[in-house]
Structure 1
Amino acid sequence: MSHSHEPPQVRAPDFDAAPISDRSLQLPGAPMLAVGLTRAVWLDQDGELNELSLRDASERARREAPILCHARAIARRLGCDPFPAYDLLELFAFVRPARFCTPTPRGLANELGLLTPDSLDADVSVLPQIALALLRELAAGSSRRDPSAHDIAWAMAQTGWRWGPAVLSAVQLTDSGDERHMARGLHVWDFLSEWNEVPPATPPGSEAVTANEARHRLSELLDSEAESRPQQADYASAVSQAFGPRREADQPNLVLAEAGTGTGKTLGYIAPASLWAQKNQGPVWISTYTRNLQRQLDDELSKLYPEPRLKSERVVIRKGRENYLCLLNFDEAVTGLASRGSDGVAIGLMARWAAWTRDGDMVGGDFPGWLADLLGRARTLGLTDRRGECIYSACSHYRKCFIERNLRKAKQAEIVVANHALVMIQAALGGGEDGQLPTHYVLDEGHHVFDAADSAFAAHLSGQETYDLRRWLIGSESAGRSAGRARGLRKRLEDLVAGDAELTDLLNQTLRAATVLPAEAWHQRIADGRTNGPAEAFLRGVRQQVYARSGGHDSPYSLEVDARPAEPDVIEAAATLKDALMTVLKPMEGLKKGLQARLDDDADKLDSDTRRRIEASTRSLERRGQMQITAWCAMLDALQADTPPEFTDWFAVERNGGNDMDVGMFRHWKDPTIPFADAVMRNAQGLVITSATLTDDPGGTPSKKPTDSAELESPDPESPLGEAAWKAAEQRTGALHLENPAIRALVTSPFDYEKQTRVYVISDVRKDDLNQVAAAYRELFLASGGGGLGLFTAISRLRAVRQRLVEPLEQAGLHLYAQHVDAMDISTLVDIFRDELDSCLLGTDAVRDGVDVPGDALRLIVFDRVPWPRPDIQHRERRKLFGGRAFDDRLVRLKLRQAFGRLVRRDRDRGIFVLLDPMMPSRLHGAFPKGVVPQKVGLAQAVDEISAFFSKDAEGDSPF
């Protein structure tokens, strides 16, 4: 049997077998458990329903192994360690691999077409129905189109999977068998087809896309029932100017396009991008900052390529190697199962997913985010190539590798969906795996270009970074569980240098020299003053300087100080470390050059796979070793001289919950859009940088612009935006670093924000009194009847407020979820929030940026205080460069605009934005659309007006 690995595999099997009698299914004889925030409900096998305290539920669950949904999340709510249970999410992941559902009883019920529960009692009552529905589906046809289900089920049952007997019964397999079942099922690579080699890509053409062509393509993408959006056509027309040949070297056709929420910008730029790709036989890269937008793009591209197989050929989602399942890692995990039987459930469910995944993407692809939480990160995400340890064609699974398949598909794709980090790093390193760079880009979520560039072009000389380099070079030096996956440079290169005494000697020199880098347990040695080697000695000195010059040692937050002037012992340790690093760098450079020489010297002997492997090895030596060490040496030199004016250097101890996690010297560009402009922009023919919040206008952003045409070029005095607003966009994106000016395009939102929204600034709540803040959140969430998103500027404030909200919200029947408390990934929390209309969600910046929740599920946003930038060293230097207080105000307005923009996603959406900070200055009001004037009111008045606002909507007295 061989799976073709086309998009239809993402679907669970469609079975048309005869109905299965429930009597033939073996539902486990176990009680049911559902847990709320303050109480639990227990359903006995005899049908008796009992309400329990969380403590009593914890004790009972540990004794009786109940059927439940999301065992780890429930254990956290009960305040106990994970306990044996029949987790319905495990059963769902087995029956419907590579399929999403919201990991709650309600989410499972909705996915299976069952009656949606609306209370905790209903949650527990629907659990047996969910189990039966899944077993019934499995029994109906797994043997017809999914024969490996038998073998994987058997293998999991042998390792003690609680669902094993029920699943084996459903697939009509007895518990008797032999090791061949395990081999057939878990050796998922046997069922994968090999990828085919593709010819080198030819250079794309240079034919332009006209505005009329872009409009016509957009009309083809819209179905007959789509609402008319003149703004969307104007937007497509405007951004089409990026899709043509540039006139001067290093000067791309750059379009800065702001498209208000509701414009439909995704299809708006897909139209000219896809047309250019088809006319010129070359790819357009569409890049996003968040995973949620990648999902949305994937959906929208189905309108361009409605046939799944064609879409699979024309659209590729590209990410770094660390995002994909490594088959060699998985093979080693399967091999280790004999000694670690407790991993059997995780390995079995990973095998199910691997056989059905579209592309092996575990971070935002078709891998459910809750599965990592359910099974443990080490058993799931830990199976990716996180440390760059790939051995390429030396791997026995190379011809079936998800990553290699993806790279080859990308060479022939028309649309490549990527992320900002990959785009920037690939451009900075001179190209991707094949050394080629795209000619045309669309960077969506363009307001994040600055932050993405800040991360991509930074250098960190820290304990963790240097330890990671040692591990990458030497491999694992302990006989631990993960030792097999830390292969080291010798394992990756030994056969490539075999028979060449000079290269073998250079490899040995590199590995011997690498012992100057921090070894395992470096952190404890530094804290105790028992350093081992020059790197640990330097880090010890850095840590001492940070603690000596900083305050707040008892706080949970990271500590930082200026790197200069450095203490004399730190300068001395830096010089010693630089000399040691050079002993690593020199043989590494010689090894790289020697391998490159083989490509010429042995050109007539090398097969294609070996040649590719040598090229990959030399790239990784340069990028992972040479470039990184060179940057570190430059940083160490600066401690004795001056930091170059374009950089900021500092020392820091990074902490989590008051515990030291890392220590080191950090270097960032003051303006990271400078290297972005050089690496990405100047190498491109055309770029679109777009967002709903690209510009910054202190006077307020436009709403309901009278004309439907896009504003092009520099706005005139009657334009809804002034020159200062566009200058802010150019500064934030790096457009000002190009000699030729960017084309400016503004398409305003079609929404009537004056009628659809309200903004309140609460005047009588003390933001530094968490009891008052929590009381305000409680009353506001109750007034809206749920659908509330609470945003916080600090995790500690979020946790403190959440603790005070638990009981009153549950009493009112409102579900409460919280980032940093529920320990689920952000995407999963947002999915739950979207699915449960009466729920509330608390989060920080990452939630604000990643939320796309149309309709009533999000109708209220509450900010705990004005989100001023954190006053750290890096911000201090950027504030000097970018205009002082005006820079601070611009960052705050951007955050407020982004948050406010989450409220209204469709024509009939209504929402209220509340800021619990009476000190909000009026100069920040420009964050909101013109006509939306923040009202400063007391809490009681705000609660009354919010209740009235949503009551009218519920009674059908909506103005729409």
Structure 2
Amino acid sequence: MESINNEVKNTENFNNLPLEQLEFVAIDIETTGLNSEWDEIIQIAGMRFKGEEVVNQFVSLVKPKGKVPKFIEHLTHISPQELKTAPPIKEVLKDFCNFIGDSILVGHNIGFDFNFLNQFIVDNGGFPISNMHWDTAEIGRIYLPFTTDHKLSTLVSFFGIELMNAHQADADALATGKLFNALTNYILNHYGYMLNARLMDLAMQANLKSGLYEYIKWIVRQQRSSALSGKKTVPVVNELNNVIEHIAAGSIKSIPEVFAEDGIFASKFPNFEFRSGQMTMAEEVADAFSKQDFLVVEAGTGVGKSFAYLVPAIDFSNRNKSKVIVSTNTKNLQEQLFFKDLPQLKKILPLPFQAVLVKGRENYICERRWQELLQEQTRGITSYDAYGLLNLLVWKEHTNTGDVSENSSFDKNRFGVLWHKICSDRYLCGGRKCPLFQSCYVMKLRKNIETASIVVANHSLLLADAQMDNSTLGEYQYLVIDEAHNLMSAASKNLGFTLSYVDLNSLFNQLVYTSRKYSGGFLSQIIQTLQKSMLTTDQKTHIETLCTKLTGEIDSQRQVITKLFSLAEDHCVEAKSYNKLRIKDINAFEDIYTLLKELSLAFKDIMKDLTALDNVFSTLNSNQVKDLDVLKDNLKGYLSRYMETEEIILQLLNPDLDNYALWIENDPNSERNVPISTFCYAPVEVGEHLNRLLYQNIPCIIFTSATLSIRGSFKFFLNQSGLSLVTEKNVRQSIVESPFDYDKQSLLLIGSFLPEYKDKFFQSQALGCLEQILTTTNVGTMALFTSYKDLDAVYDHLSDTLFHLNRPFFAQGKGVSRNSLLDEFKKSKNAVLLGTSSFWEGVDIQGDSLSLLILYKIPFQVPSEPLVEALIDKLERENKDSFMHLMLPNALLRLRQGFGRLIRSKTDRGVVLIMDSRVSKKKYGIYFKQILPGRCIELKDEQHLISEIGKFFNPLPANI
């Protein structure tokens, strides 16, 4: 009873107070882990604010019962010695609860703090905290959708708030309180009353009544009370766009005019360094454009390949009034090209151009479907959908592009059902007939693509569009494929399909949706429209009968798909195959295939009745039914979508297991309480597909990457990519060497003395070597692994040592995102970072932050990975040596990518250590030594290793 009164009293106290008089306590805790059931609190802090002033504070360490993990010591800088003398949790919690009283509590991800605090309070015989609590992370997600993320460090940086000693409770609590004030002022100054009133309604519908709802309600009251004063909000200016216009009247006579030592770049770029390789590559690209050739060009690290193809592409486009598509594999490079490289060229080049950034259609919001959902909100939507809409509303108000990937607040996977209701959908698009055609983001984008000179796309979109007759990119004759070494893996993903429980359930929900509070879907919409129509009673009855029959057929399949995907999930778990289970023989999965057959037969009935409904609608006219054309178009769209899904189910029933890999994949990170399995089907070899989709239709394609050749030959890439099938034209090949002097800048060391990786003594000796290296050097170090198992073993072994050395220590998978790890690593000159697969490429760390690169193991592909295993089987059926044809070439290219992380500029220096002695001991090891540049030393023992590293970083003076 007391806790309820606290909340009521609290509400009465704050509702009419302006921000400068509002009193709240900003709180934060540090813990030994993320689970409140078995992890412990090691520090608690509270900062009492009145307005912007801190009027009181509570800070205490807490003595844990168990051991504190090393990565927590590194993160918080709280040592076990300090905790030994700290008071126990029961004592600290009593004092803390007295300190906070019935105050409003503010925290960053405060739900985490509440879970821990209340778990320990209840465990110690107390009543849980029920104070009103406001979450700055949640508020930030709603009102700051354009920041890169919503971590405390990011948001305080956005507002220019200093955060010293991050990950200590007192520092974080102080920063959180300041952030709350800054956020609130920002909202009051920039977001209007009507928008906040709508957000308040959504917070109510999302059942966020004790926290976020009360906060936004307080904001609305503040704005209502100040309305009479005439104070107006200043609209937020969002400069993110997907079009770059460069209006210029100049031209260039030749490529050297831009790249030469006395060229345009030299005159405009500060600290310009002439790179002959860059100019050579640019001239080759320009020549390939003019002759409509295919060009495969490997550009070594430091060549500057982006400018080497963008400049000739812009020049050629300008001269010939043609469009050039540039496709990348990763979002990072796509955005680097568009938001960094092209704006730089806009400032420098005298050439006019229009560049457009384009992604897959499903990334864009549909204006019509968005408006329909907002109208539906007044009739009631699910609380989950309302929660998702909270993270979309402010973004939608200010977006110029409609591209949801620019909205860091909204998780498309988490709110997949909601996004399916409002994203642009080719099946449900009215095109020019849509009443909101003029404001459609996709149509605006397509108009820009038509007139663009440079279109920056990605491999997924490129391949999907090629399969749909270039419906998005339009007709084009010139294509640059950057990160071309990833084209084959992108093709495998995009030329097959996946089918999950969520996919099918969303498909069903689009036609029929029923919950305890709400029912809807397209069939319900038809019946509601019919009731107000001019149709005869017989016509209405006939259509309603078909809709009712369809509803029954769909509802009966919900249990089937739940059982099907639960069974698939169980099979995958039982196989203990790291969440991926390949289906090599469908007869071995009889229970799954029995359900698939049942689903297939049900789809035949659904398709039959959907077709019957479509036939009935074709006999109606618009005088009888309101918005008949829209209903007809939507019905045809659903019919097409169900037809496509039926084809997928039929392919699953009759898979081509010689040429495709079929497997079940579980998502262990899924937050939703539904089956987590997915059926995946992908071509084993993609060369013929790429030849049919791209090479036979596009006259000029440039393929480029830093790693395409092996020992000077492109044979492996040509075979894998299908370029070897191109017979009607010559495929030009070029290697542009890196401008770096690897002999002077780098040293390659090979741990020849270590046991082989599979030897039982390898790990203990490797760990000893790493510890010795890190205690005798003090340089920025990154170690790359091929598995989390190895990474975790190294992390556990080194944690104590690095903690005592006071060296920053970071590891992938230890609670911090990849980008955050890299940002923190770059800030230090002697940090140690452990990374797995995603760190082997696309990581650019210049300067002293990275001087020692350790490659723990040769990066061979995992042979049990479904696609790899299927390709090995295929090669062996063809009597080909899978090791020489697949495993070794892939490992060589991957090792080159890893090696490329070290030297990123002409002033970088560093050592690469390969700890896998197979490079020295196996016959194939010679290939690894041949493909890596610079000096190579094979180490005799650990002493030799330490000596060579020491000599490189601490060379003796020349006169000694």
**TM-score normalized by structure 1?**
0.70
Change in Cα spacing, 1:585 to 1:232, as seen in structure 2 (3 Å) is farther
Match of 1:904 in 2: 903
| 1:458 maps to amino acid | G
Change in Cα spacing, 1:628 to 1:241, as seen in structure 2 (3 Å) is farther
Once the two structures are TM-superposed, the CA of residue 130 in structure 1 deviates from its matched residue by 7.3
Distance 2:822 2:549 in 1: 46
| 1:684 maps to amino acid | I
Match of 2:164 in 1: 117
> Which whole-Å deviations, capped at 9, do the CAs of 1:27-80 have from their partners, x for residues lacking one?
754245374878547365435654446787898599658655555788999998
2:575 aligns with one of 546, 553, 563: 553
1:690 aligns with one of 704, 707, 714: 704
Q: Tell me the SS of whatever aligns to 1:689.
A: strand
1:745 aligns with one of 734, 737, 762: 734
User: Structure 2 regions of 5+ residues with no counterpart?
Assistant: 1-17, 34-41, 49-55, 66-87, 121-127, 243-250
Distance 1:679 1:694 in 2: 21
Report which structure shows greater RCO (CA 8 Å, sep ≥6). 1
Change in Cα spacing, 1:302 to 1:428, as seen in structure 2 (3 Å) is same
Distance 1:746 1:578 in 2: 52
1:232 aligns with one of 243, 263, 278: 278
- Contact preservation (8 Å) 1:787, 1:840: yes
Match of 1:351 in 2: 393
Once the two structures are TM-superposed, the CA of residue 690 in structure 1 deviates from its matched residue by 0.9
- Contact preservation (8 Å) 1:240, 1:272: yes
- Contact preservation (8 Å) 1:260, 1:747: yes
Change in Cα spacing, 1:442 to 1:807, as seen in structure 2 (3 Å) is same
Q: Tell me the SS of whatever aligns to 2:936.
A: coil
Distance 1:265 1:923 in 2: 29
Distance 1:32 1:874 in 2: 49
Alignment RMSD (CA, Å) = 6.0
Change in Cα spacing, 1:475 to 1:127, as seen in structure 2 (3 Å) is same
Distance 2:811 2:312 in 1: 40
Match of 1:14 in 2: none
- Contact preservation (8 Å) 1:221, 1:304: no
Distance 1:588 1:694 in 2: 50
1:448 aligns with 2:446: no
Match of 1:250 in 2: none
Once the two structures are TM-superposed, the CA of residue 559 in structure 1 deviates from its matched residue by 2.5
| 2:650 maps to amino acid | C
1:100 aligns with 2:148: yes
Change in Cα spacing, 1:406 to 1:786, as seen in structure 2 (3 Å) is farther
Q: Tell me the SS of whatever aligns to 1:243.
A: helix
2:650 aligns with one of 629, 633, 656: 633
Q: Tell me the SS of whatever aligns to 1:314.
A: strand
Distance 1:342 1:860 in 2: 48
Q: Tell me the SS of whatever aligns to 2:45.
A: strand
Distance 2:288 2:524 in 1: 43
Q: Tell me the SS of whatever aligns to 2:404.
A: coil
Match of 2:847 in 1: 855
- Contact preservation (8 Å) 1:346, 1:375: no
Match of 1:870 in 2: 862
- Contact preservation (8 Å) 2:688, 2:725: yes
Match of 1:728 in 2: 716
Once the two structures are TM-superposed, the CA of residue 446 in structure 1 deviates from its matched residue by 0.5
Match of 1:33 in 2: 28
Match of 1:294 in 2: 334
Aligned pairs for 1:639-678 within 5 A: 643=656, 647-650=659-662, 652=664, 654=666, 656=668, 667-678=681-692
Change in Cα spacing, 1:488 to 1:593, as seen in structure 2 (3 Å) is closer
Once the two structures are TM-superposed, the CA of residue 810 in structure 1 deviates from its matched residue by 4.8
> Which whole-Å deviations, capped at 9, do the CAs of 1:570-627 have from their partners, x for residues lacking one?
88877776665555566778999999x99xx999xxx9x99999889867855x4445
Distance 2:589 2:190 in 1: 72
Once the two structures are TM-superposed, the CA of residue 888 in structure 1 deviates from its matched residue by 0.4
Distance 2:469 2:614 in 1: 17
- Contact preservation (8 Å) 1:559, 1:653: yes
- Contact preservation (8 Å) 1:42, 1:50: yes
1:361 aligns with one of 394, 398, 403: 403
Match of 2:836 in 1: 844
Change in Cα spacing, 1:24 to 1:419, as seen in structure 2 (3 Å) is same
Match of 1:889 in 2: 888
Match of 2:928 in 1: 925
| 1:354 maps to amino acid | K
Q: Tell me the SS of whatever aligns to 1:30.
A: strand
Once the two structures are TM-superposed, the CA of residue 429 in structure 1 deviates from its matched residue by 1.8
Distance 2:534 2:317 in 1: 44
| 2:582 maps to amino acid | E
Once the two structures are TM-superposed, the CA of residue 294 in structure 1 deviates from its matched residue by 1.6
| 2:344 maps to amino acid | K
- Contact preservation (8 Å) 2:286, 2:316: no
Judge which range, 671-680 or 50-59, deviates more: 50-59
Change in Cα spacing, 1:615 to 1:515, as seen in structure 2 (3 Å) is closer
Match of 1:199 in 2: none
1:314 aligns with 2:351: no
- Contact preservation (8 Å) 2:106, 2:180: no
Q: Tell me the SS of whatever aligns to 2:25.
A: coil
Once the two structures are TM-superposed, the CA of residue 899 in structure 1 deviates from its matched residue by 1.7
Once the two structures are TM-superposed, the CA of residue 885 in structure 1 deviates from its matched residue by 1.1
| 1:453 maps to amino acid | A
Q: Tell me the SS of whatever aligns to 1:671.
A: coil
Match of 1:243 in 2: 289
Aligned pairs for 1:45-124 within 5 A: 45=48, 46=56, 49-52=59-62, 69=108, 87-89=135-137, 98-100=146-148, 103-105=151-153, 107-108=154-155, 110-113=157-160, 117=164, 124=170
Q: Matched residues, percent identical?
A: 19
Change in Cα spacing, 1:515 to 1:620, as seen in structure 2 (3 Å) is closer
Q: Tell me the SS of whatever aligns to 1:431.
A: coil
Match of 2:513 in 1: 476
Distance 1:635 1:101 in 2: 39
Change in Cα spacing, 1:625 to 1:527, as seen in structure 2 (3 Å) is closer
Distance 2:395 2:612 in 1: 43
Judge which range, 840-849 or 40-49, deviates more: 40-49
Once the two structures are TM-superposed, the CA of residue 244 in structure 1 deviates from its matched residue by 3.7
Distance 1:332 1:889 in 2: 53
Distance 1:592 1:810 in 2: 69
Once the two structures are TM-superposed, the CA of residue 96 in structure 1 deviates from its matched residue by 5.4
Distance 1:571 1:770 in 2: 43
| 2:653 maps to amino acid | L
> Which whole-Å deviations, capped at 9, do the CAs of 1:284-327 have from their partners, x for residues lacking one?
2211111111221121111233499x99x933221123323556
| 1:443 maps to amino acid | I
Change in Cα spacing, 1:476 to 1:914, as seen in structure 2 (3 Å) is farther
Structure showing greater Rg: 2
Distance 1:489 1:457 in 2: 35
Distance 1:651 1:511 in 2: 34
2:222 aligns with one of 153, 165, 174: 174
> Which whole-Å deviations, capped at 9, do the CAs of 1:777-833 have from their partners, x for residues lacking one?
666566665744443333455456555655654555455555444274x44554454
Change in Cα spacing, 1:927 to 1:907, as seen in structure 2 (3 Å) is same
Aligned pairs for 1:738-777 within 5 A: 738-739=726-727, 740-762=729-751, 763-764=753-754
Once the two structures are TM-superposed, the CA of residue 449 in structure 1 deviates from its matched residue by 0.4
Match of 1:534 in 2: none
Distance 2:110 2:116 in 1: 10
> Which whole-Å deviations, capped at 9, do the CAs of 1:881-931 have from their partners, x for residues lacking one?
374211101111122222221222222233443444334442452575332
Distance 1:256 1:362 in 2: 34
Q: Tell me the SS of whatever aligns to 2:701.
A: strand
Distance 1:101 1:115 in 2: 18
> Which whole-Å deviations, capped at 9, do the CAs of 1:446-495 have from their partners, x for residues lacking one?
000000011111145666655555455x34354589x76x7579779999
Distance 2:199 2:699 in 1: 53
